[in-house]
């Protein structure tokens, strides 16, 4: 199975994974042969890439899923309902200044609207569902959700939530912190509903983090940490982040006697998982990166942008080459050969079991199975046709 840009999908290609709409309903089932009209309508809805079955892939490797399809569908529809409900309730505020919106957030009307049996209650029920499922996993599948324009923010929020919970579990956070982190991660970009198109990036970042924080902290049923996730997920360790320019310690331990504002650990976790998902999806002028390249970028920015110890924990749960990824050999035996990741090695997440299916001229060959954990001289990189 290949991840392919929608511009390179051809009529007759067979869909490898279900395509969901923004409400979590199946739009097209895996196994469907794509017709020109299907491809056109997917493009209109803003899908940028699809999983396509590869006829030369004798192994028919299915990528792992971070959540069961039913859970993802439920998560998408819940997030959509919650976003729409909050958007409707706050519609009149949209064109006001940030300061005026903050004042309304502090009003009783909004506090009552956000009480526990309202939208935030739905998020808590969803959070419990996701935790139930994620806590039985040791590693991520790969965070390559198929997104359309209307679902991108919801899919992103779900993926960031799952990844953040796994990182936090790896760091030993207690269950009540995981719950607060998961709620915060699901709503970390809720402030985006107030952001108009066309604003400069720093203004967008500043406003959506402040407004997300103010909205969540003024709810009647707030979690202590959830608002801080919205507030701090664009902060950097070296103080160059937004909105407050907080300076981090690059450690997981927290000093008890700190007086000045420091980033919360949950905020620092979501800063890393949010960045990874944005790198994989691409943003603005930055094209999508393959998982191995995205991890390189995180490593380069560890210590300056991201908490170094949190990045280390992230590298303990994210496969560098997720199952089903197409790869090319760049060093050692079989240089230039291409193939696919058959299985992730959970002890060495950068050394999977691979099958090489084509030689360096691109000719199909009898597959060669290579266990990279036993072949330290062979290097690979991921290839995406996007
Ligand atoms: Fe954000």
Measured in Å, residue 271 CA sits from the centre of ligand 1 at 9
Measured in Å, residue 57 CA sits from the centre of ligand 1 at 38
Measured in Å, residue 298 CA sits from the centre of ligand 1 at 17
What band does 164 get if pLDDT is binned at 50, 70 and 90?
very high
Report whether pLDDT(257) > 60: no
Query: What was the pLDDT predicted at 285?
Result: 82
Mean pLDDT of 235-242: 97
Give me the helices (H) in 175-325, please: 175-186, 201-217, 226-232, 265-281, 291-301, 308-315
Cβ contact 170:317 at 8 Å:
yes
Range of weakest confidence among 228-237, 247-256, 266-275, 277-286? 247-256
| Closest by Cα among 297, 344, 292, 315 to 163 | 315
Residue found by looking up tokens 């200044």 in the block: 97
Measured in Å, residue 228 CA sits from the centre of ligand 1 at 12
Measured in Å, residue 98 CA sits from the centre of ligand 1 at 16
What band does 256 get if pLDDT is binned at 50, 70 and 90?
low
Query: What was the pLDDT predicted at 254?
Result: 75
Measured in Å, residue 65 CA sits from the centre of ligand 1 at 24
Report whether pLDDT(92) > 70: yes
Measured in Å, residue 182 CA sits from the centre of ligand 1 at 15
Measured in Å, residue 111 CA sits from the centre of ligand 1 at 23
d(CA 31, CA 50): 12
The enclosing H or E element of 87 equals helix 69-89
Measured in Å, residue 341 CA sits from the centre of ligand 1 at 31
Measured in Å, residue 203 CA sits from the centre of ligand 1 at 12
Measured in Å, residue 96 CA sits from the centre of ligand 1 at 20
Measured in Å, residue 216 CA sits from the centre of ligand 1 at 15
Measured in Å, residue 188 CA sits from the centre of ligand 1 at 6
Measured in Å, residue 353 CA sits from the centre of ligand 1 at 35
Measured in Å, residue 209 CA sits from the centre of ligand 1 at 7
Mean pLDDT of 220-245: 90
| Burial of 291 (C-beta count, 10 Å sphere; 0-12/13-18/19+) | buried
Query: What was the pLDDT predicted at 362?
Result: 92
Measured in Å, residue 242 CA sits from the centre of ligand 1 at 10
Cβ contact 300:294 at 8 Å:
no
Measured in Å, residue 28 CA sits from the centre of ligand 1 at 30
What band does 145 get if pLDDT is binned at 50, 70 and 90?
confident
Helices and strands per DSSP (H, E), number in the chain: 12, 9
Query: What was the pLDDT predicted at 82?
Result: 93
Query: What was the pLDDT predicted at 248?
Result: 95
d(CA 267, CA 183): 12
Start-to-end CA distance of the chain, whole Å, equals 14
Measured in Å, residue 141 CA sits from the centre of ligand 1 at 22
Measured in Å, residue 59 CA sits from the centre of ligand 1 at 38
Q: Pairing state of beta strands 353-358 and 326-331?
A: unpaired
Measured in Å, residue 86 CA sits from the centre of ligand 1 at 17
Measured in Å, residue 284 CA sits from the centre of ligand 1 at 14
Query: What is the edge-to-edge ordering of all strands in the sheet holding 379-383?
Result: 364-371, 353-358, 338-343, 326-331, 379-383
Give me the helices (H) in 90-218, please: 98-105, 108-113, 119-134, 152-170, 175-186, 201-217
Mention every residue, 6+ apart, whose C-beta is less than 8 A from residue 311. Answer: 272, 298, 299, 302
Torsions phi, psi of 319, nearest 5?
-70, 135
Measured in Å, residue 241 CA sits from the centre of ligand 1 at 12
> What's the whole-model pTM score?
0.94
Measured in Å, residue 85 CA sits from the centre of ligand 1 at 20
What band does 251 get if pLDDT is binned at 50, 70 and 90?
very high
Measured in Å, residue 191 CA sits from the centre of ligand 1 at 8
Measured in Å, residue 52 CA sits from the centre of ligand 1 at 30
**Residue percentage of the chain with pLDDT more than 70:** 96
Report whether pLDDT(225) > 70: yes
Query: What was the pLDDT predicted at 324?
Result: 86
Measured in Å, residue 208 CA sits from the centre of ligand 1 at 7
């Amino acid at each position: 199975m290949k991840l392919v840009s929608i511009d390179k999908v051809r009529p007759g290609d067979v869909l490898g994974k279900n395509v969901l709409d923004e409400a979590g309903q199946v739009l097209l089932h895996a196994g469907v042969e794509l017709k020109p009209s299907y491809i056109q309508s997917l493009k209109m809805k803003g899908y940028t890439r699809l999983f396509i079955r590869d006829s030369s892939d004798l192994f028919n490797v299915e990528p792992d899923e971070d959540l069961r399809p039913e859970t993802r569908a439920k998560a998408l529809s819940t997030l959509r309902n919650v976003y729409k409900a909050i958007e409707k309730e706050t519609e009149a505020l949209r064109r006001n200044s940030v300061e005026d919106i903050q004042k309304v957030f502090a009003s009783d009307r909004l506090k009552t609207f956000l009480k526990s049996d309202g939208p935030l209650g739905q998020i808590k029920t969803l959070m419990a569902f996701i935790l139930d499922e994620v806590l039985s996993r040791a590693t991520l599948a790969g965070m390559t959700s198929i997104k359309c324009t209307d679902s991108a923010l919801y899919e992103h929020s779900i993926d960031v939530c799952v990844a953040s919970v796994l990182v936090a579990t790896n760091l030993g956070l207690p269950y009540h912190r995981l719950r607060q982190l998961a709620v915060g991660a699901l709503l970390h970009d809720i402030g985006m509903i107030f952001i108009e198109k066309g604003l400069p990036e720093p203004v967008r970042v500043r406003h959506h983090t402040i407004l997300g924080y103010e909205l969540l902290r003024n709810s009647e049923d707030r979690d202590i940490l959830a608002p801080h996730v919205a507030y701090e997920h664009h902060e950097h360790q070296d103080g160059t982040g937004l909105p407050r320019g907080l300076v981090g310690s690059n450690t997981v331990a927290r000093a008890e006697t700190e007086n000045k504002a420091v980033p919360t650990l949950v905020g620092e976790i979501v800063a890393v998982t949010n960045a990874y998902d944005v790198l994989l999806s691409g943003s603005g002028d930055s094209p999508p990166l393959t998982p191995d390249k995205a991890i390189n970028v995180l490593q380069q920015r560890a210590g300056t942008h991201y908490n170094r110890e949190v990045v280390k924990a992230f590298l303990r749960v994210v496969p560098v080459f997720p199952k089903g990824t197409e790869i090319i050999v760049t060093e050692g035996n079989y240089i230039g050969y291409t193939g696919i990741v058959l299985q992730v090695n959970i002890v060495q997440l950068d050394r999977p079991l691979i099958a090489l299916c084509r030689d360096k001229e691109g000719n199909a060959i009898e597959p060669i199975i290579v266990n990279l954990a036993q072949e330290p001289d062979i290097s690979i990189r991921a290839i995406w046709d996007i």
